[in-house]
A and B are shown apart, each in its own frame.
Chain A
């Protein structure tokens, strides 16, 4: 209740104005998403772990985690042991344990034999010049096969823009950001979640299928737009384009 009252008070005194960066702003280095491909594994199956990150200039890239571990992220050792992480030339590989390992982990987590088991993976990403690496966690689901959503293709004001390509937009008017894909929700209880991020302008409805971007007179002449799609079961996909502002 205290949080609600604080929110109401903030609304009533117009305290929504802030200089803090918003979650849709690509303005400082951070991890935008952690991906396991595939996000759901059967016994002895293997997934690849990678990251979507941006640097301090707001440039997105796909990166390999500096470190990946299940030990600190899972309080139950048997759960942590159900997924083995190892660095390879292709990145960090996560290998599900055998049926016995999964059974032991389920027992430790208090799950039934046929229930899926989420094992948290902790990852790091080092940023040049920063004292500490960025930290993130992501669950890999064991005992239930799953796939990531399709890679989204972005439309700017109805025009399709291929990943990495440049779209030219105007200042001072509302720009519609949508997807080519339909992206049907898997179920009513587990709708897809969307995230639009930009390196120029201001976004509203950034957590819906249809983001609205407006670039003001003071905003940069160029920047990236990133779209991320998440499922409720840990699937994730992303893409980005560049904007050139006229």
Chain B
């Protein structure tokens, strides 16, 4: 018996006079254009397998009489069309799909495998998450989420389980997922690490306009991902369209220009360049005793080209790069000393990828990437100079079988990756406190290191997915990493069981082992460390509600072992253990004019630095994290209003109980209380955003005002003590942060 949604689809296809009633598309929201005009539509979407939910790579997406494009590694596509146009999707081994476009900027298309024609077709408004607790955000959602200023990585704070970092240092070079350290998770662009995520002042390296979408996998991820003991954020770059397209955006911080269009008969290109201009006005805002030798400025750029080599084979080349420079001199008020700071970071990464879909369910994905990175940093008599190059490659071959060994709809996958890095390191630095280690006020001896380090990491994996019954699907896999510098070869089994309770409800159970190589910062200086390891168990339930609505409830437990700690101040040793338990709720609603988001996380993350130590809170533990966001587009499409409310618990904090005065050194050593035994105050804030659109012949101009923390509730980032620790005060972030921007789009 067909489900109601299937009947709707059948009615649509019948109306269009299609010969194949089972050809299917999923398009939520009302069709038609209220103004009756041919309104330009910047369309993004994803194409996925209707039965497995996996993305369909290399599918041809075309507008009748208009542009054509193909889906990328994640099944995503973008093109410019008009409301009311007909979208046609074709892929080898699948039935074609057709769709009349409404005003919806995002569509999801479920393709029916040829082999399973005649089965009940499930219509989905958005593809199912790849693992329990995972979610995705489209480019438009990333760009218009209130309080983020349209910044890609700032949007991550809205995701369940992501902790907004406290302190000016922020999350450093990563994202805090489910109470673990930033280095435990990875942020990938097109499958490869981005060596530097943030520009100065925490602005994302990758502009949102150059991104197709973002997948957030907080845990329980597939064997194809590794070298992370917590979560994965996978960002997909945006491919060019079949017609010339362009956009320019200016904000108070930077300006971005983006263009895309066809190349030859079968190619498309997209290029994005951005430059900050904080350096033009920052010097006038600084105190008199701070001299800017080089005002902070950054560049970044991304170029992606796609080619359809054959109907079954396509390739893509992506080059992304960034450059940041800052140099300043400050006079020390109480001495005759001068403080000099310089930071110069740059990188270029190139990724050549190919996707091939053969006959008999065979498909291949492969990519090669090269990286060149330079990091120069100096402060007073300390410095760091790193020159790193890397050559990495990854490939995965999969084959789909209708029947295999008595199982149905079986997908067998196998893959491998290699990452060979060479890092020339020259440093003289104070080591700095470790996670959870209170500052004891004593100057640590500077460590010096001059060496070239080779970091060869390899991995191989295999997985099999199969339906045990129409309602039960099992995925099991094995990943073996080789961290060759450390002579460590961790074996990581992983599995997921998916139970379909009804057409709209699914329960998923996942478990697996995950490891992170000991390659973060000064861990690199030691070659005899083992990787940090985690065992994750995740139970999730998800239910689709109406058209565009979804609720996910996830509970998880993570046991961490071999954590690298040095509580005695010596070298790192794999002697720590940790445990995180938590639950997450994510409810979302997407329609053509409304976006709603409710995310709540409850978690407890603790650890022991040595086997005999008492358990304490992890420095990144966050008990409560609530985000409620909504945006609404007016009927005439000229205005969009959005708001986001956030409530978060304060992060753990180690109090100072007193101090001992060292008379000879004329300094005070704090006497700390129990590690992370107090918390910073909890915080709540409301962010608002309004966008206005002016549509002209052939192009659109839009302006936005994004105001963070509209009722001026300052967030306590950390406590600052006076010189003898007898007083403390709160360090608060800026109470209100307005961002304005102007964007023109062809």
Chain A residues with a Cβ under 8 A of chain B: 1-16, 18-24, 28, 30-31, 33-35, 122, 132, 134-139, 193, 195, 203-208, 228, 230, 234, 236
8 Å CB contacts to A: which residues of B667-724? 720-724
Pick from A3, A12, A28, A31: contact of B282, CB below 8 A. A12
Q: Which residue of A lies closest to B439 (CB)?
A: A3
Expressed in whole angstroms, the Cα–Cα distance for A6 and B439 within the complex equals: 14
Expressed in whole angstroms, the Cα–Cα distance for A3 and B201 within the complex equals: 15
Chain A residues whose C-beta falls within 8 Å of the C-beta of B728 in the assembled complex: 20
Chain B residues whose C-beta falls within 8 Å of the C-beta of A208 in the assembled complex: 334-336
Q: Which residue of B lies closest to A203 (CB)?
A: B334
B379 within 8 A of partner (CB): yes
Chain A residues whose C-beta falls within 8 Å of the C-beta of B720 in the assembled complex: 18, 20
Known contacts A8-B326, A136-B662; decide if A20 and B727 are in contact (CB<8 Å).
Answer: yes
Known contacts A4-B379, A137-B661, A207-B334; decide if A30 and B724 are in contact (CB<8 Å).
Answer: yes
Chain A residues whose C-beta falls within 8 Å of the C-beta of B526 in the assembled complex: none
B333 within 8 A of partner (CB): yes
Expressed in whole angstroms, the Cα–Cα distance for A190 and B377 within the complex equals: 29
Expressed in whole angstroms, the Cα–Cα distance for A228 and B666 within the complex equals: 10
Expressed in whole angstroms, the Cα–Cα distance for A122 and B671 within the complex equals: 15
Chain B residues whose C-beta falls within 8 Å of the C-beta of A23 in the assembled complex: 334, 723-724
Q: B604 CB to closest chain A CB, in angstroms?
A: 26
| Contact in complex: B722, A193 (CB < 8 Å) | no
- Residues 317-339 of B, flagged 1 when their CB comes within 8 A of A and 0 if not, give 00000000010101001111001
Chain B residues whose C-beta falls within 8 Å of the C-beta of A138 in the assembled complex: 662-664
| Contact in complex: A134, B377 (CB < 8 Å) | no
Expressed in whole angstroms, the Cα–Cα distance for A216 and B85 within the complex equals: 74
Chain A residues whose C-beta falls within 8 Å of the C-beta of B658 in the assembled complex: 132, 135
Expressed in whole angstroms, the Cα–Cα distance for A135 and B285 within the complex equals: 42
Q: Which 6 A-B pairs have the closest CB atoms?
A: A34-B663, A20-B722, A4-B379, A9-B168, A136-B661, A23-B723
Known: A3-B430, A4-B377, A208-B335. 18 other contacts (CB 8 A): A4-B379, A4-B382, A8-B343, A12-B296, A15-B731, A18-B729, A20-B720, A21-B727, A23-B724, A30-B661, A31-B661, A31-B663, A136-B662, A205-B335, A205-B336, A206-B334, A207-B334, A234-B664
| Contact in complex: B334, A16 (CB < 8 Å) | no
B32 within 8 A of partner (CB): no
Interface size class of B (residues with CB under 8 A): 35 or more
Q: A114 CB to closest chain B CB, in angstroms?
A: 22
Expressed in whole angstroms, the Cα–Cα distance for A21 and B282 within the complex equals: 29
Chain A residues whose C-beta falls within 8 Å of the C-beta of B335 in the assembled complex: 205, 207-208
Q: Which residue of A lies closest to B659 (CB)?
A: A135
B313 within 8 A of partner (CB): no
Q: Which residue of B lies closest to A6 (CB)?
A: B168
B287 within 8 A of partner (CB): yes
Known contacts A12-B282, A30-B724; decide if A230 and B664 are in contact (CB<8 Å).
Answer: yes
Pick from B167, B382, B430, B726: contact of A6, CB below 8 A. B167
- Residues 136-169 of B, flagged 1 when their CB comes within 8 A of A and 0 if not, give 0000000000000000000000000000000111
Chain B residues whose C-beta falls within 8 Å of the C-beta of A204 in the assembled complex: 333-334
Q: A81 CB to closest chain B CB, in angstroms?
A: 21
| Contact in complex: B429, A11 (CB < 8 Å) | no
Expressed in whole angstroms, the Cα–Cα distance for A208 and B334 within the complex equals: 7
Chain B residues whose C-beta falls within 8 Å of the C-beta of A24 in the assembled complex: 334
Expressed in whole angstroms, the Cα–Cα distance for A138 and B667 within the complex equals: 11
| Contact in complex: A11, B328 (CB < 8 Å) | yes
Chain A residues whose C-beta falls within 8 Å of the C-beta of B380 in the assembled complex: 4
Task: Give me 26 A-to-B residue pairs in the complex whose CB atoms sit less than 8 angstroms apart, sorted by A's number.
Answer: A1-B384, A1-B429, A5-B343, A6-B167, A6-B168, A7-B341, A7-B379, A8-B341, A11-B287, A12-B328, A14-B285, A14-B287, A18-B720, A23-B334, A135-B658, A136-B662, A136-B663, A137-B663, A193-B666, A204-B333, A205-B333, A206-B334, A208-B335, A208-B336, A230-B666, A234-B664
Q: Which residue of A lies closest to B722 (CB)?
A: A20
Expressed in whole angstroms, the Cα–Cα distance for A236 and B666 within the complex equals: 11
Known contacts A20-B720, A20-B727, A137-B660; decide if A11 and B330 are in contact (CB<8 Å).
Answer: yes
Q: A189 CB to closest chain B CB, in angstroms?
A: 15
B286 within 8 A of partner (CB): yes
Chain A residues whose C-beta falls within 8 Å of the C-beta of B662 in the assembled complex: 136-138
Q: Which residue of B lies closest to A204 (CB)?
A: B333
Expressed in whole angstroms, the Cα–Cα distance for A204 and B333 within the complex equals: 6
Chain A residues whose C-beta falls within 8 Å of the C-beta of B326 in the assembled complex: 8
| Contact in complex: A139, B664 (CB < 8 Å) | yes
Chain B residues whose C-beta falls within 8 Å of the C-beta of A31 in the assembled complex: 661, 663
B11 within 8 A of partner (CB): no
Expressed in whole angstroms, the Cα–Cα distance for A8 and B295 within the complex equals: 12
Known contacts A4-B382, A16-B287, A207-B334; decide if A30 and B726 are in contact (CB<8 Å).
Answer: yes
Chain B residues whose C-beta falls within 8 Å of the C-beta of A203 in the assembled complex: 334
Chain A residues whose C-beta falls within 8 Å of the C-beta of B285 in the assembled complex: 14
Expressed in whole angstroms, the Cα–Cα distance for A34 and B273 within the complex equals: 61
8 Å CB contacts to A: which residues of B74-107? none
Chain B residues whose C-beta falls within 8 Å of the C-beta of A228 in the assembled complex: 666
| Contact in complex: B661, A135 (CB < 8 Å) | yes
Chain B residues whose C-beta falls within 8 Å of the C-beta of A207 in the assembled complex: 334-335
Q: Which residue of B lies closest to A21 (CB)?
A: B722
| Contact in complex: A4, B729 (CB < 8 Å) | no
| Contact in complex: A236, B169 (CB < 8 Å) | no
Chain A residues whose C-beta falls within 8 Å of the C-beta of B336 in the assembled complex: 205, 208
Q: Which residue of A lies closest to B721 (CB)?
A: A20
B734 within 8 A of partner (CB): yes
Expressed in whole angstroms, the Cα–Cα distance for A73 and B330 within the complex equals: 37
Chain A residues whose C-beta falls within 8 Å of the C-beta of B661 in the assembled complex: 30-31, 34, 134-137
| Contact in complex: B286, A205 (CB < 8 Å) | no
Known contacts A28-B726, A31-B661, A136-B661; decide if A195 and B666 are in contact (CB<8 Å).
Answer: yes
Known contacts A4-B382, A9-B168, A132-B658; decide if A236 and B663 are in contact (CB<8 Å).
Answer: yes
Expressed in whole angstroms, the Cα–Cα distance for A50 and B734 within the complex equals: 47
| Contact in complex: B169, A13 (CB < 8 Å) | no
B352 within 8 A of partner (CB): no
| Contact in complex: B722, A5 (CB < 8 Å) | no
Expressed in whole angstroms, the Cα–Cα distance for A230 and B667 within the complex equals: 13
Chain A residues whose C-beta falls within 8 Å of the C-beta of B727 in the assembled complex: 20-21
Expressed in whole angstroms, the Cα–Cα distance for A16 and B728 within the complex equals: 14
B432 within 8 A of partner (CB): yes
B464 within 8 A of partner (CB): no
**A2, A12, A16, most chain B CB atoms within 10 A:** A12
Q: Which residue of B lies closest to A5 (CB)?
A: B169
B587 within 8 A of partner (CB): no
Pick from A8, A34, A134, A236: contact of B328, CB below 8 A. A8
Chain A residues whose C-beta falls within 8 Å of the C-beta of B333 in the assembled complex: 204-205
Q: B259 CB to closest chain A CB, in angstroms?
A: 33
Chain A residues whose C-beta falls within 8 Å of the C-beta of B201 in the assembled complex: 9, 12
Expressed in whole angstroms, the Cα–Cα distance for A34 and B343 within the complex equals: 41
B290 within 8 A of partner (CB): yes
Q: Which residue of B lies closest to A141 (CB)?
A: B664
Expressed in whole angstroms, the Cα–Cα distance for A139 and B172 within the complex equals: 39
8 Å CB contacts to A: which residues of B332-367? 333-336, 339, 341, 343
Expressed in whole angstroms, the Cα–Cα distance for A136 and B326 within the complex equals: 40
Expressed in whole angstroms, the Cα–Cα distance for A180 and B132 within the complex equals: 76
Chain B residues whose C-beta falls within 8 Å of the C-beta of A11 in the assembled complex: 286-287, 290, 328, 330
Chain B residues whose C-beta falls within 8 Å of the C-beta of A34 in the assembled complex: 661, 663
Expressed in whole angstroms, the Cα–Cα distance for A20 and B382 within the complex equals: 28
Expressed in whole angstroms, the Cα–Cα distance for A19 and B336 within the complex equals: 24
Chain B residues whose C-beta falls within 8 Å of the C-beta of A33 in the assembled complex: 663
Q: A125 CB to closest chain B CB, in angstroms?
A: 10
Expressed in whole angstroms, the Cα–Cα distance for A195 and B661 within the complex equals: 15
Expressed in whole angstroms, the Cα–Cα distance for A16 and B201 within the complex equals: 17
Expressed in whole angstroms, the Cα–Cα distance for A30 and B667 within the complex equals: 12
Q: Which residue of A lies closest to B332 (CB)?
A: A207
Expressed in whole angstroms, the Cα–Cα distance for A30 and B328 within the complex equals: 36
| Contact in complex: A205, B287 (CB < 8 Å) | no
Q: Which residue of B lies closest to A121 (CB)?
A: B663
Q: Which residue of B lies closest to A118 (CB)?
A: B664
Q: B457 CB to closest chain A CB, in angstroms?
A: 24
